[in-house]
Amino acid sequence: MNQENLLKIALAQIAPVWLNKDKTIDKIKSAIVDAGKKKCNLIVFSEALLPGYPFWLSLTDGSKFNSGIQKEIHAHYIRNSVQIENGDLQTICLLAKEHNIAIYLGIVERAKDRGGHSLYCSLVYIDSTGEIRSIHRKLQPTYEERLTWAAGDGNGLQVHQLKQFTIGGLNCWENWMPLARTALYALGENLHIAVWPGCKRNTEDITKFIAKESRSFVVSVSGIMRVKDFPANTPHLDKILKNAPETIANGGSCIAGPDGEWIVEPVIDKEDLIISTIDFNRVLEERQNFDPVGHYSRPDVTKLIVNRQRQSIIDILDD
């Protein structure tokens, strides 16, 4: 087998130290080191892992207007979110370079270019030299997520070369958005990364569907969240846990091949570094009879326009 065709991938199905940025970074770094020692080329982490998904919203009447409880938890969330411009990901980038491994990492971003107070669900790609190559802010937060996350833009709809693969990624239910998927397909994507907060019911259908639609490999990575993963100093922890099941997010990380069949079936109810090697030649084989943006497309009839400008409330024009 041609080694140049092969890509070794680690799916980091782990739990955060919920809403604790520093301790969650420590867990992320440990997973990177482990994957690096195993000679993986790519490691993928779940949606909003750093510092954690906003599970409290559905457990504590998150839509109650002007609630002191919601404001206090939200403020705690902001304080533990990621400011890339301040170097919050620097140690992770250094590990990527040290271990020659690329990284997709789901973060909650406190974006300075949008004032520094609103939060975005972002998917960051760090290449194997330790450089941040794209930051994709989730286009449309889902349902209760809109109570704490702002809507993103198209700037991060980008793909990256990794060995023979062209990789791109989307957050959670963005993967159900056909035009967002199509934008990545049209850029040449043949390895699709889908990140999720953690639930088998989210990954078991869409992962295989995207693979069959795109004739690409699809890697879905989910998180784990249990009652024991909430730190004792979480604001209003008693109210959050009152209605919380023992397991809130059960994982479901998996890989489907370009024919839509399982390479790794969904893994549930355990923290694990799931490792698999994929062969680029399988993409070429499956594109023989279907290519959604190539020989099986009609751009003279239907065509997509993508705005990749980073959106901001201000344009400064200095002399």
Considering 172, 189, 254, 286, which one is annotated as catalytic?
Answer: 172
Strand stretches in the chain, DSSP E: 6-13, 42-45, 102-110, 119-126, 132-137, 160-162, 165-171, 191-195, 217-221, 224-226, 247-256, 262-268, 272-279
Spatial distance between the Cα atoms of 279 and 227, rounded to a whole number of angstroms: 38
How many Cβ atoms from other residues are within 10 Å of residue 96's Cβ?
23
Taking 3-state DSSP, the helix, strand and coil percentages for the chain, each rounded to the nearest 5, stand at: 35, 25, 40
Considering 21, 109, 121, 138, which one is annotated as catalytic?
Answer: 138
Spatial distance between the Cα atoms of 238 and 212, rounded to a whole number of angstroms: 44
Considering 47, 109, 174, 286, which one is annotated as catalytic?
Answer: 47
Has 228 been annotated as catalytic? no
Has 144 been annotated as catalytic? no
Query: The dihedral of CA 79, 84, 87, 93: what is its sign?
Result: positive
Spatial distance between the Cα atoms of 116 and 303, rounded to a whole number of angstroms: 36
Has 138 been annotated as catalytic? yes
- Enumerate the active-site residues: 47, 138, 172
